[in-house]
Amino acid sequence: MQWDALRHLDQNPGASLHLLAQLTFQSDQAFGTLAGRMIENGLIERVASPGRAAHHRLTEKGYQLRRAGEHVVDRVLAHSFSRLTPTQLATFDKLLIRLLSAPDLT
């Protein structure tokens, strides 16, 4: 959970807590609680921003943890998809892109 939050914060500098909650599939309240714990652990810090929205950024410790987690995820994904041929991986990639770009029907 924390790694995903760190990843999204790194990819979306200056994002509001509301946007980060949406990106990590959490409620605003749940993400706010998570952000509080991450601040206490020195992984992120609040930054001054205009208006009332709270904005955060990774600390060096948070960045290092995100990078370490990225290596773990890369190894897991490589292992998980190692049985697919390059052609099968390309097809899978195309199908995922198609699914993710489909209009929201809700």
Which residues make Cβ contacts (< 8 Å) with residue 27, sequence separation at least 6? 21
Q: Give the pLDDT confidence score for residue 52 in this predicted structure.
A: 73
Mean pLDDT of all residues belonging to the chain = 90
pTM equals 0.72
pLDDT digits (tens, 9 = 90+) for 88-98: 999 999 999 98
Note the pLDDT of residue 106.
56
Percent of the chain scoring above 70 in pLDDT: 96
Using the predicted structure, report yes or no on whether residue 7 has a pLDDT greater than 80.
yes
1-106 is a CATH 3.80.10.10 domain: no
Give the Cβ contact number of residue 58 at 10 Å. Answer: 20
∠ CA 43-44-49, nearest 5°, is 175
- Is 9 strand, coil or helix? helix
Domain coordinates of the chain in residue numbers? Answer: 1-106
Give the ranges where 12-58 is alpha helix by DSSP (H). Answer: 17-23, 28-40
Region of poorest pLDDT, from 48-52, 69-73, 97-101: 48-52
